[in-house]
Structure 1
């Protein structure tokens, strides 16, 4: 199990507005307009939801990259697009947290944006391994 999924399942609940999430895993989300699929590294349903439920509440969408590059606003925009696609499919994304997991930190514009928004969770290496 990827560390980002394990972290979300075991330790992220104090950081999530809805508390303890339901099932946590990975998925793909169809993007018909772009004729592609988006891989989602971490998806957590809200407590009480079941995988593959047609109108599930999504607690968290996350992108985890094990690269030397810092994460930036482009990564966040990708998650925002995926959240929109899930909402268009009928899922409840009104309280979805967008999480970025990074080995090498985040660009300042992303950290500034995260400080102003309550729907963004930035998880760096020390947080990831110290739960």
Structure 2
């Protein structure tokens, strides 16, 4: 694995049914995630996906590439724009891509649980685009690459 390696892109649709399932799993029943009336009353263009759901979907890009979620040692994002989810069967298309921006040697394997001697860590920049605009900022992950 080298700097500049691109992760296989991932395109996912988010529907209102997904929002209902996520609300049930997370306990986040804020009406901006299910009521067009409430979303509009607070200045949103419509019902929006939960930010943490969008973050989780972006994380899927990295875990599929890594092959094992346990190899992801850090992951973080900033929420920059909402994903507006229409009330139809198609939902909102969110496109994810990623690129390895750095690869470093792990000098202390105690810092990385179960890492093999000679392991390296890849830093991955993640891009999430909805409706032609980036919806996550500073989205990065660190992934342990076995030696």
Q: Same fold by TM-score, threshold 0.5 exceeded?
A: no
Structure whose residues are more often strand by fraction: 2
Per the normalisation by structure 2, the TM-score is 0.22
| Pair member with larger Rg | 2
Higher relative contact order (CA 8 A, sep 6+): 2
